[in-house]
Structure 1
Amino acid sequence: MLAIVAAIVSRRAIPGLLVGVWAGAIIYTGGHGLGTTFDWIIASIATEFHVSILVFTFLLGAGVGFIWRLGGSFAVRDWAASRLENRRQAGVAAWVLGMLVFFNDYANTAIVGTAMRDVTDSHDISREKLSYVVDSTAAPVATFMFSDWIAFQVSMIEEGYSAAGISETAPAAFVTFLRSIPFNFYCLLAVLMVGIIVISGRDFGEMKTAEARASSTGKVLRDDAQPMQDIEGDLGKPETTKPMVRSFVVPIVMLVAVTLVGVYWTGRAGGDLVGVLGAANWALSLVWGAAGMVLSAGYFGLRHGILSFGESVETFVDGMKIMMTANTILVLAWSIGTVTTELGTGQYVTSVAEGLVTPGLLLVVVAVAAGFTSFTTGTSWGTMGIITPIAVPLAVEVSGMGALGPVIGAVFSGAIFGDHCSPISDTTVLSSTFTGADHIDHVRTQIYYAATAFVVAIALFLVWGYLSVTPYLLLPAGVILLGGLVYVFSEFDITGPGAPQPSD
């Protein structure tokens, strides 16, 4: 909590995270926390997955650097400008692309953020809005599409079965996962809310102020913002006066294609599609994809005489440099996860929740416990790992086998909601990074929308808990309620200072 409050108040993530890790070390050691602080920071890096993500992010920065100096971003912006006529169409394009890149949330933030940043800038859409669109489609879509998330979620369900002692009698874990999808209310509503926002042109809360600034002054960032990337400041002007769209498209296609080939290659022993997804080394595959992106972009620059070999090496190094802040925050965010694990934060939250459970409140209590755990730890996967083995036995004891799918949906909903609201979440950091937004500004503006979708999800969980209404009726009702809340909140804000009028 100290890390989160310090980060939001100071609008700086790194000092808040450092204070949070140090405070945790003080509690853990009883007053001698400096050495433990650095031990935890080092330990957070010393895993194959985390090292792979750091390498992936550095290589992706190099790829972004090449695309910038080849003029690819400008070419895409100019191409889109001739086809996307207004802010609404640009917002819808970002939303649709966010749903199409579903196979990994990290790759989603990288591809959509990089592809759409200059496009939305050209239509005076704030970086805060683009970050929201990217963040609220990346993980939510990955939770119920074919991705590495599915493999992880199925494995967590199996862990829950083992904890409940029902491995032999319960439905297959994948079947329970499929049954959880209609109850994953927050993720479904979060994705649909992005569509409601970008199509209606209505905003509320601090996002309204950000959009007013961008639409009236053309400033996509506030004056004192510290964007996670400042491409032009770090890399200078593009090296060509005739940018080509393919200098953007080819590296991005290589990123996606090589990553998917890597997923198949590292997971081919798994047999069927679900087995491949579960057995694949996604982090390593992303590294391969990013390397393919860099090599193809570098070759493109040399082939067309845009960059010399020396300039290509310089671009590679400068591109990696723009990721230093993001990777620093990632390391410290992972360190916070180590802190909360050592202090037993997740177990404490769930032990408190267990005493509040009744059949009618089961899904609400589980979702809130997961949301709070994810918010304070900054990790949705870690939250799923903590909560699922407790929620499954709880559901069986309170409501029987029929509650397995619903309770898993509640776990996923709460975990992603807390992740969206947390300034120490890695996916939230990456969303800010690849859209070039101020990280704390992204968190402050998104939290209004995430909370609105979560409140509606909680209402649907309550209705199911007490009335057992089918989720296929609850979800449409939730979408209508969500649309009504967006309208009411935007109208309530309409006369506020700097409030933009709904427009295209």
Structure 2
Amino acid sequence: MDAQTVLLAIIPPLLAISLAIITKQVILSLFLAIFVGATMLNSENVWTGLFDTFFTFILPGFENVDHQRMICFCAFCSGLSLMLERGGGAEAFATTLTKNVVKTRRGGQLVTWLGGVAIWFSDSTNPVLIGPIFRNITDKLRISREKLAYIVDSTTAAVPTLFTLSAWGAYIIGIIETSYQELSYNGNPTSDFLAGVPYQYYTIGSIVMVLIIAITGWDYGPMKRAEDRALKTGKLVEDGAEVRSHTEKRELPAGAKPSIWNMIIPLVVLIILIFVGMAYTGDAATNGFVGALAAGSSLKSLVIAFFITAIVAGALAIRSKVMNFKEAVSTFIEGCCSMMEVLIIMMLAWGIGSVCSACGTSDFIVQVSENLLTPATMCIIIFVAACLTSFSTGSSWSVFAIFTPIAISMALAIDAPVGMAIGVVLSGGIFGDHCSPISDTTVLSSVGSSCNHIDHVKTQLPYALTVASAAFVGYLITGFIGGNGFIGLAITLILICIISFTLNRQFGRKKQTV
């Protein structure tokens, strides 16, 4: 592989990530990275590169039906979030919980974690739903927005990969089934997916680490500074930080009587509509309810569910005399429009993914990794390669599509458990989706939590690297002991506790504040 090919493969993603961290200008960084990649692909012809930036890599993203649904869903979700906030439901919900149930910072983090784990059916729903709901609670308890975004993001993509009934589970099982057909392997995709769950060391570890940090208070690094700032000064975000989708608190009009039901009823309606939509789009009459949940379109269901729920939330706000009909419509539209900057970032994130594909970023990482694979090191090589690819491209789904067939074929070639290979790929893919600054779920977690995006990335990354390091050791040991997933998972979780405790002891708070 010549030097020019290597540079073409690595410069665009590295440029996007480094510029985003240095300048804190995500949109500019993504655009420049796409432009540089397009120019390199056109033999350094700047004009052709600029032309292809828009018409080859950015704008075609709108032609993708799922992208169209994602844009519509995000807009409706933001409209609903603002409706719940201004309708008084979120405030009443937070007040009730903090007065009667959640009274400590530890409790605030735990209830937010529980909310993130409970909303497991979609990675897109979690950040823009859990963030706004629990933001009022964490704000009252002086929990930093960075910590809220971390809790939300850590359950956003991780939890859905553990269930077959989620959109992620259906997508992954589909990839496995296709791979089996191409390899003429007579395996059960669903069974092997479930067999791979214990091997998702990073996925499970990232969920458990939030619980560990919430209970023990073992914060360290940038997160420790953010938490100390919020606790001591009451500043929930850094001074001068740009926060998207932040809404100013408004006084309720005279006679308004919002209650906790202004929050609970819309949420119940939302969950019911999502499952009804999944059953409808999955043809429950033919496939049965469970089969329909696996085969249904989550994005179609989410679009309709959020739109109808916004109407319900608006009706409750009107009934509570918080706003009139005209104000309710204006609030929903304002909420939809507030997502414009986020949608631009998502559009550019899809664009950088297309550029990386054209530049051969994934192929480069795969080619380098394949030459290093042995039976003992298969897990760690696949894990590292998947981590690097997902972090560079900001996409876990593309990593699943690329690495799953390779991992399965390698496992069959060396007579290793197929479930192990699948679990390792999923775990590595989640790493990038979890903490890459150009991942759409990372962006949505920042927005849903009203946290500066780069501050979210900087505070979360040390925790993500802690879990990834522990998972690396777990996979290394798993390779040498013959593939026992539960032993490797136990080692990973123990190491997460040890590393977190040690780093907190050296760099964290001296005293836990509950």
Structure 1 and Structure 2 fold alike (TM over 0.5): yes
**Which one of the candidate residues 81, 94, 100 is aligned to 1:77?**
94
Report how far residue 279 of structure 1 moved: 2.2
Report how far residue 138 of structure 1 moved: 1.7
Matched, 1:253 2:268: yes
Q: 1:424: which partner in 2?
A: 438
**Which one of the candidate residues 143, 146, 161 is aligned to 2:161?**
143
Matched, 1:492 2:506: yes
Query: 3-state DSSP class of the match of 1:231?
Result: coil
* Mean CA deviation greater in 332-341 or 198-207: 332-341
RMSD in angstroms over aligned alpha carbons? Answer: 1.6
Report how far residue 476 of structure 1 moved: 2.4
Query: How far apart, in 1, do the equivalents of 2:316 and 2:188 lie?
Result: 48
Query: How far apart, in 2, do the equivalents of 1:327 and 1:489 lie?
Result: 37
Query: 3-state DSSP class of the match of 1:108?
Result: helix
Query: How far apart, in 2, do the equivalents of 1:238 and 1:50 lie?
Result: 37
Q: 1:160: which partner in 2?
A: 179
**2:158 maps to amino acid:** P
CA distance 1:501–1:324, shift in 2 (3 Å): farther
Report how far residue 77 of structure 1 moved: 1.6
Q: 1:98: which partner in 2?
A: 116
Unaligned runs of 5+ in 1: none
Give CA-to-partner distance per residue, 1:286-337, whole Å, 9 cap, x none: 1011112211012112333332222122112211122112111111111111
Matches within 5 A, 1:265-344: 265-268=280-283, 271-272=287-288, 275-344=291-360
Query: How far apart, in 2, do the equivalents of 1:239 and 1:89 lie?
Result: 32
Unaligned runs of 5+ in 2: 1-13
Identity %: 35
Q: 1:48: which partner in 2?
A: 65
Matched, 1:217 2:233: yes
**1:43 maps to amino acid:** P
CA distance 1:439–1:452, shift in 2 (3 Å): same
Report how far residue 230 of structure 1 moved: 1.1
Report how far residue 500 of structure 1 moved: 6.6
* Mean CA deviation greater in 469-478 or 199-208: 469-478
Is the contact between residue 161 and residue 393 of structure 1 (CA under 8 Å) also seen in structure 2? no
**2:132 maps to amino acid:** T
Report how far residue 482 of structure 1 moved: 1.0
Matched, 1:28 2:41: yes
Report how far residue 110 of structure 1 moved: 2.1
Matches within 5 A, 1:327-476: 327-397=343-413, 399-400=414-415, 402-468=416-482, 470-476=484-490
Query: How far apart, in 1, do the equivalents of 2:24 and 2:232 lie?
Result: 24
Is the contact between residue 160 and residue 391 of structure 1 (CA under 8 Å) also seen in structure 2? no
Is the contact between residue 400 and residue 426 of structure 2 (CA under 8 Å) also seen in structure 1? yes
Report how far residue 162 of structure 1 moved: 3.5
Normalising by the residue count of structure 1, what TM-score does the alignment of the two structures yield? 0.95
Normalising by the residue count of structure 2, what TM-score does the alignment of the two structures yield? 0.93
Q: 2:79: which partner in 1?
A: 62
Query: How far apart, in 2, do the equivalents of 1:237 and 1:390 lie?
Result: 57
Q: 1:19: which partner in 2?
A: 32
Is the contact between residue 346 and residue 387 of structure 1 (CA under 8 Å) also seen in structure 2? no
Q: 1:503: which partner in 2?
A: 513
Q: 2:491: which partner in 1?
A: 477
Is the contact between residue 388 and residue 411 of structure 1 (CA under 8 Å) also seen in structure 2? yes
Report how far residue 251 of structure 1 moved: 1.9
**Which one of the candidate residues 181, 188, 192 is aligned to 2:197?**
181
Give CA-to-partner distance per residue, 1:125-166, whole Å, 9 cap, x none: 001001110111121111012311111111111233244x23
Is the contact between residue 81 and residue 129 of structure 2 (CA under 8 Å) also seen in structure 1? no
CA distance 1:261–1:431, shift in 2 (3 Å): same
Matched, 1:124 2:124: no
Give CA-to-partner distance per residue, 1:27-62, whole Å, 9 cap, x none: 222222111111121111211111111111111111
**2:68 maps to amino acid:** V
Matched, 1:89 2:107: yes
Query: How far apart, in 2, do the equivalents of 1:277 and 1:379 lie?
Result: 24
Query: How far apart, in 1, do the equivalents of 2:145 and 2:239 lie?
Result: 13
CA distance 1:293–1:211, shift in 2 (3 Å): same
**Which one of the candidate residues 7, 18, 27 is aligned to 1:5?**
18
Query: How far apart, in 1, do the equivalents of 2:115 and 2:345 lie?
Result: 26
**2:448 maps to amino acid:** F
CA distance 1:377–1:37, shift in 2 (3 Å): same
Query: How far apart, in 1, do the equivalents of 2:342 and 2:39 lie?
Result: 26
Query: How far apart, in 2, do the equivalents of 1:347 and 1:501 lie?
Result: 48
Is the contact between residue 151 and residue 274 of structure 1 (CA under 8 Å) also seen in structure 2? no
Query: How far apart, in 2, do the equivalents of 1:481 and 1:64 lie?
Result: 38
CA distance 1:71–1:124, shift in 2 (3 Å): same
Report how far residue 388 of structure 1 moved: 1.2
Query: How far apart, in 1, do the equivalents of 2:34 and 2:293 lie?
Result: 34
Query: How far apart, in 2, do the equivalents of 1:202 and 1:72 lie?
Result: 33
Report how far residue 252 of structure 1 moved: 2.1
Query: How far apart, in 2, do the equivalents of 1:93 and 1:305 lie?
Result: 30
* Mean CA deviation greater in 119-128 or 467-476: 467-476
Is the contact between residue 68 and residue 238 of structure 1 (CA under 8 Å) also seen in structure 2? no
Q: 2:247: which partner in 1?
A: 231
